[in-house]
Amino acid sequence: MFNRKKKEEKKDDKKEEKKDDKKIDEKRDSKDSKQRTESNLTLRKVKSSDKVDKEELSRTPKKSSSAPDLAKLEALSVDEPFSFSRLINNPLYSDVTFTVGQPPQKVAGHACVIEIRCPSLLKNSKKKKNAHEVDVEHSISFHTFLELLSYLYTGKFDFSKSKEHDVILLLSASSKYEGLERLEYLCSKHLTQEMNTKNMHKLLKATDELQLKYKEDVLHFAVKNYQDFLAEKTANKDLGIGLFQDVVTLYQEFQTGSLKPLPVPVEPKDTFVEDFKALYDSVKLSDISFKLAEANAMGISGSQLRGHKAIVVGRAPGLASVVNQQPTEVSKGLYAVVVKGISPEAFESVLRWVYYNERNIPTSVACELISYCQQHQLTPLQHACVQSMKKGIQVDTVLPILDVSYMKEMPPWFEEQMAEIRPQCIKFAAEHIKDIDFEKIRTKKMSDNIAPEILTFLQHPK
């Protein structure tokens, strides 16, 4: 009788634990929703209607203690990883609304990202006007779906910040959609690395309840650690007779030598950069056309480049003034804006960096981009341009590099880099003085300091 009473008390304790776990999950989903809503205030000022209000677009967003303002986003470090994390659950140019979890919550998405990264997410979408509405499977929670979305927009997932239970749920969610094989692999790999004799029972039960293929990995681990598995009597009772028998049966196969080893998993290729390069190369789902005011290198005017507002502003908030200017025309959801003060070749380099982090920039283009990057707070791209200038000192580039080196009101890091490059350029120019077209100093209206500096070096070589 005493044992029966004790068992009943344990059952009551487990019920209470499950209730507590449920409350914790609900609180966490509510907290995630609140934090996402606050962070989305950053860029929400922009309106996606056909008529763009200049005054509204030029207004500075109000600062919030809970959400980073646009100015802070523009000044991010040069070491910022390549991703589109600013767009996660951000209503800025959103054209997909996911309904997720219980109780149902709304999550903002962008068709251009979802279509290129995981089109199966839009498989059962309902299209209304120019937007998609998607009901996500009820078994996927709000918190788990945000983690899945984070992977799509960044190409990575930080397992160090997630609990084991969260990773199992993410593994389950990723197994439901075609295109998330790499995320599924990464979740499985992490669980394998963290699996031990203390958590194998919990993993076995969770993977069985969620009907995951990864259950086989846990069963094989239990067989390899069979004595430790049997030693956990309380955990085995909690497993139930069915799962316990699965381990015993598998162990008997192991003893007789008939247990087949699990196939070694092959890591799916990381296609994050490739996906966004493909998006740049296509015009699919583009909603903006950039009309370049300047002629290209061939002297041909009227160059146009298609793009996606969310991608451009999401990666480089400093380009919002370009994207959000009054359009010259709007046709079928495609905005046409004029881009001034930059050549087609240089602006194309900007877009390549935005879409797929292309840092291989021709030196002549890099020189042109320095001031444009300064104007639009594209610091990481500006650093890439400086590296191109360092490596590209040639007869046809030395004067443009020198001209850039004398630019005023530049950040300290830039001035330090120019102080290093300038003497190299002056020495090179002096050594190749017969091959350089110095007339460009006048025709291109370059710095007045260039000629005197070279002349001084010729008189007093160092």
In SS3 terms, 358-380 reads as CCCCCHHHHHHHHHHHHHCCCHH
Determine if residue 240 is left, alpha or beta; phi over 0 gives left, psi from -120 to 50 gives alpha, anything else beta.
left
CB within 8 A of 320, min separation 6: which ones? 43, 46, 57, 70, 313
Q: What is the pLDDT along the chain (462 residues), one digit of tens a residue?
A: 334 444 444 444 444 444 444 444 554 545 444 444 444 433 433 333 333 333 332 323 333 333 333 433 444 456 678 999 999 999 999 999 999 999 999 999 999 999 999 999 998 889 887 789 999 998 999 999 999 999 999 999 999 999 999 999 999 999 999 999 999 999 999 999 999 999 999 999 999 999 999 999 999 999 999 999 999 999 999 999 999 999 999 999 999 999 999 999 999 999 999 999 999 998 889 999 999 998 777 777 789 999 999 999 999 999 999 999 999 999 888 999 999 999 999 999 999 999 999 999 999 999 999 999 999 999 999 999 999 999 999 999 999 999 999 999 999 999 999 999 999 999 999 999 999 999 999 999 999 999 999 999 999 887
Cβ-contact 259, 250 below 8 angstroms: yes
Q: Where in the chain is the domain with CATH 3.30.710.10?
A: 2-256
Residue with tokens 């002349």: 455
Concatenating the DSSP letter of every residue in 142-162 gives HHHHHHHHHHHHHS---GGGS
CB atoms within 10 A of CB 49: 7
**How much is the pTM?**
0.82
Return the CATH fold of 2-256.
Answer: Potassium Channel Kv1.1; Chain A (3.30.710)
Amino acid found at 407: M
- Give the helix ranges, DSSP H, for 53-135: 54-58, 70-74, 111-117
Residues 89 and 325: their CA atoms lie apart, in Å, by 24
